[in-house]
Chain A
Amino acid sequence: MDPNLWIAMISILTAGLTIAIGSIGPALAEGRAAAQALQAIAQQPDASATITRTLFVSLAMIESTAIYCFVVAMILIFANPFTDLATQATGG
């Protein structure tokens, strides 16, 4: 079979797996963080400004793991570096 076809197949499969597995952890963690923050705001409404700010920053840091997975998946699908390599190897 054409190596480009193989690369495309494996890339798409891997991209799907990357997003699927990579978003489990951040999703659970964000849920936990939000739940804890809500509980803290319910207990101490006065500190809600500080809690909200810290929550946003922590959510962004947690979410960055999922964003890394997303970037890797996008690179695999739209800017796969190995497609050119295979074209060169077969064509040249």
Chain B
Amino acid sequence: MEISPDSWVLWDWRDWQLTATVAFTWLVMTILVTVSWLITSRLSEGETVSRWQVMLEVIVTTIRDQIKEVGAEDPNRYLPFIGTLFLFIATANLLTVVPGYQPPTGSLSTTAALAICVLIAVPLFSIVRRGVGGYLRTYLRPSPFMLPFNLISELSRTLALAVRLYGNVMSGTVIVGILISVAPFFFPVLMQLLGLLTGLIQAYIFAVLAMVYIASASRAQPGRDKDPDTETELADTEGD
């Protein structure tokens, strides 16, 4: 039994292999780009607004509100990155309703790539916001003794992000595969429905956690330790 779409090779030419992971990632990217390009090429501000534009506006404003609630003062700065993460993972997971589709997020390569994007984005956003010195000082934040633990947590939370998304999506696929051989027709459909819910929640959680990491590293607090009362409630969950 296969536990990842990596082992499904669609096309083989000399040393180059096109695995299902890459192909379905391209499919998701094409869908996202085409749909958003089609909608945004016909934006209007007049009396009549197309229903697709309304859908896009709802998605963008919802993501922006969620970013603001997590604790970023300036949501527009983070909207492209966080929104892309959410939309990509959500589309990749929700397309499992299409027969023959294997979610690319069910491969550790894809989720590791996404988690590494977050790992790189955290210092980038923080340096743009607070400068190199301000960013490096976050590693010494409670006290300089915490430096090794802060470094470890930086790596371990990246691993956690990758394995969490991979494990959730892969477990859905594997359980459906096992149930098809045990109790066909009915139970796999129920598990697929549950998988849709899990996929959407995982996309939300991945985006929220990325935002929490970025916000906790780039919160403006020049030079001194901040008041504990101003912490948002989500900052407590950062130390996974």
Interface residues of A (CB under 8 A from B): 50, 53-54, 56-58, 60-61, 63-64, 67-68, 70-71, 74, 78-79
Known: A56-B204, A57-B209. A67 touches B168 (CB 8 A): yes
Label chain A's interface by main secondary structure. helix
A61 contacts B174, C-beta separation under 8 Å: no
Of B1, B166, B233, B234, which one neighbours A71 at CB under 8 angstroms?
A: B166
Q: What is the number of residues of chain B that contact chain A, defined by CB distance less than 8 Å? A: 23
B residues at A contact (CB < 8 Å): 1, 3, 69, 160, 163-164, 166-168, 170-171, 174, 201-202, 204-205, 208-209, 212, 233-234, 237, 240
Give A79 to B1 CA distance when docked, in angstroms.
10
Question: Can you name 29 A-B residue pairings with CB atoms under 8 Å?
Answer: A50-B69, A50-B233, A53-B69, A53-B208, A54-B233, A54-B237, A56-B204, A56-B205, A57-B212, A60-B202, A60-B209, A63-B164, A64-B164, A64-B167, A64-B240, A67-B163, A67-B164, A67-B167, A67-B168, A67-B171, A68-B163, A70-B167, A70-B171, A71-B166, A71-B170, A74-B3, A74-B174, A78-B3, A79-B3
Which B residues lie within 8 Å of A74 (CB)? 3, 170-171, 174
**A50 CB contacts on chain B under 8 angstroms:** 69, 233
- Is there an interface contact between B237 and A61, defined as CB atoms closer than 8 Å? yes
What are the residues of chain A within 8 A of B208 when measuring CB–CB?
Answer: 53, 57
Extra A-B contacts (17), CB below 8 Å, given A54-B233, A70-B167 = A50-B69, A56-B201, A56-B205, A57-B205, A57-B237, A58-B237, A60-B201, A60-B202, A64-B164, A64-B167, A67-B164, A68-B163, A71-B166, A74-B3, A74-B170, A74-B171, A79-B3
Max chain B C-beta neighbours (<10 A), residue from A50, A53, A60: A60
A60 touches B205 (CB 8 A): yes
**With A57-B205, A57-B209, A60-B201 as given contacts, are A68 and B237 in contact (CB-CB < 8 Å)?**
no
The reply to whether A54 and B171 contact each other, CB–CB distance below 8 Å, is no
Shortest beta-carbon contacts, A-B, top 7: A67-B167, A60-B205, A64-B164, A71-B167, A78-B3, A61-B240, A57-B208
Min CB distance, A84 to chain B, in Å?
Answer: 15
Contacts of B167 in A (CB 8 A): 64, 67-68, 70-71
